[in-house]
A and B are shown apart, each in its own frame.
Chain A
Amino acid sequence: MTGFAELLLSGVMSGLIIGLAGLAVTLVFGIARFSNAATGDTMTLGAYGALLGTTLTGSLIFGGLVGLLAGALAAVLSYVLVFRQLANRSPISSLLASIGLAFFVRAGLGLAFGHNQSVFQLDIVRPIRFLDLRIQPNDLKFAAIALVTLVIVFIILHMTPIGRRMRAVADNPLLARVSGIAPRPVMFTLWAMAGAVSAIAGIILGMKTVVSPEMGWDMLLPAFAAAVLGGIGHPVGAIVGGLVIGVAQELATPFVGFTYKIAVSFIVLLLVLLVRPRGMFGRVEGVR
């Protein structure tokens, strides 16, 4: 039983990271209306930013903030330089451009930091024993950071004027525009938020594992899966989707082994989409 509980725990941790990345994907999709393939590499950028910040300031917290800012800034820049130019074209143009941007960011990071791995020097601590369950204090901190991030995103989306405008644009861009909502502040906030959320996912992943130029790209597929599973464009859905994927993967391992656990998460995705093609939280959308 403890075995299962520990698998559940490690699934939740993986799921939170996948979910955060999925949240960044879904935010962009909801408002800018395309799947941003550069999300993974924005994660990587955030992790390197945090690494650099930590080395410069000697503090993980300041380092994390530097990473966060780097992610947000990079995302806003990518909007200004690339995606705004393509806003009136088909979403495929933006998707393709985002793949190119992903390559660019990854190559740039490889050039700047090399392809060898880097690590955050976290203190290595023994786990807390709780009901015979081994809980990592660091995991608790990461989970707390993830939850705080979520809460902030929801506060912005649901309790601020800019959030209301963002949701209006997500709902119906034309109607929002004729109602006098200026698109620029909405888009800037959106990209800054998506960039910051990606960066946080990347920083947590980097702290749990190792930082390398490919780390974010490797997470892109699970992140897309989480966004789709949750109902694309739905923020809560992305997080829940990530958790479902993470937990399903880990809980399946006693039955299918470790090689096929990734396949299991995609079977779950398939099954959910068969029953609910719009995803767990998604709405049916009419053709505009």
Chain B
Amino acid sequence: MNLTRRQTLASLAALAGSGLMPSLTFAQDAGTFRIGALNPITGAGGPYGTGMQKMIAAAAEVVNAAGGAAGRMFEVFAEDTQTQPQAAVLAAKKLIEVNKVQAVLGTWSSGVSLAVLPLASEANIPLFHCSGAPALSVAPANEKKLGYRFQATNDRFGRAFAEIATKEGFKRPATMAFNNASGIGNTEGFEKAWKAKGGEIVASVVYEPAQPSYRAELQKILDAKPDVIVMGSYIADTTIILREWYQTGEENTFIMPAWAGNPELVKALGPDVVEGIISVDSISNEGSPAFAAFDAAYQSAVGHPGLTNVYAAMTWDMVTVLALAMEAAGPGADMAAINAKIREVANPDGKQVSSFAEGKEALKSGPINYEGASSVLDFDEFGDVTPDFAASFIRSGEIKREYVVTL
């Protein structure tokens, strides 16, 4: 046989490729259950992603140590979404097609989850995510009801904003929203709740990302003389808007989600500009036994208190809920059967449990209700949960929680 150089190279490449194949052949081992940990390791979600991923691994270890879920051991495949839909789609495809994962856990940012959910649905596997966009609740994105949200919807954030605005006695709110599902979701949720209370919105603006200046947008809002501006925004645009706002000399205050009103914002602008801003975040189910278990695991894996990463508490719960649903569905159950059990093990009217081992034991004698580390974790018909919210105020450059809002 007379090989040309090109043929030789091609066959070498094929050989090298086939070296990767055996891992595929044994993908469907009955003794293991493969989960994809698809988290924002880099990008805007970077501050949370590593902790989220470590908690998926830690919770999977806990499940495995308790004998696995319905006898199956969890195997975790980790990927980075880069907090970007394009990168997330590539990573999700790799997880689903190459690693043959049977569930994808832990996407963050609505754009990412909206891009990944159709891929997961197509493969008939569930996606557990931490994103807020209302569109993730319903068809077409969630047509197969395989998407479960462990974070509050932006709509619920908006309702929390309205509660806080009422409590603080604001009369003339205006809204500014980043033009995407999450940003508009926040301000629309606020508007609905605020109008239901009989309030009025003096001005509202939806703005485009990546503009050199937001002066015109601000001018329209400030002309209406608001006493508070409710933001559906992210960190970069918030930085630009607040800088330009401060330079106008107006003295209203702001209510914004915590992914915009965070320490990085304080660092970027200095304490004077951000003084008095109200930063709102959903909070973990602090004080629950599940949170204590998560906190211990987080401390040992990351070295910070579990309070610093609400999303890691969510990913911890994702693994636990999945394992409990598998346990309830019994050995050898397919994904449809497992999916049918998710609400059953998490929602009320069962014995309250706080860990996988406890739930596994209790399942032998009847229904259970997992009370999670991130919230009491009761899924509504859309697969959404309702956590509590905290209102934190920025004073002298420190972000301090002042009260909790329960919807």
Contact = CB atoms under 8 A, between A and B. Distances in A.
Interface of A: 3, 6-7, 10, 13-14, 17-18, 110, 114-117, 119, 121, 124-127, 134, 136, 205, 208-210, 212, 214-215, 218-219, 250, 253, 257-259, 261-262
A259 B208 contact: yes
A218 B210 contact: yes
Interface string B251-273: 00000000000001000111011
Contacts of A125: 247
Nearest to B219: A6
Contacts of A121: 270
B121 interface: no
Contacts, number: 93
Interface of B: 42-44, 46-47, 82-83, 179, 205-213, 215-217, 219-220, 223, 235-236, 239-240, 243, 246-249, 264, 268-270, 272-273
Nearest to A262: B208
Contacts of A10: 213, 215-216
B247 A117 contact: no
A145 B270 CA distance: 26
Contacts of A257: 206
Contact of A115 (B46, B213, B215, B217): B46
A127 B247 contact: yes
Contact of B240 (A13, A18, A210): A210
Q: Dominant SS at the B interface?
A: helix
B210 A215 contact: yes
A121 B270 CA distance: 9
A3 B216 CA distance: 9
A124 B273 contact: yes
A258 B210 contact: no
A3 B219 contact: yes
Contacts of A250: 216
Contact of B206 (A126, A208, A258, A262): A258
B43 A115 contact: yes
A158 B33 CA distance: 71
A214 to B, nearest CB: 8
A259 B239 CA distance: 20
A117 B239 contact: yes
Contacts of B43: 115
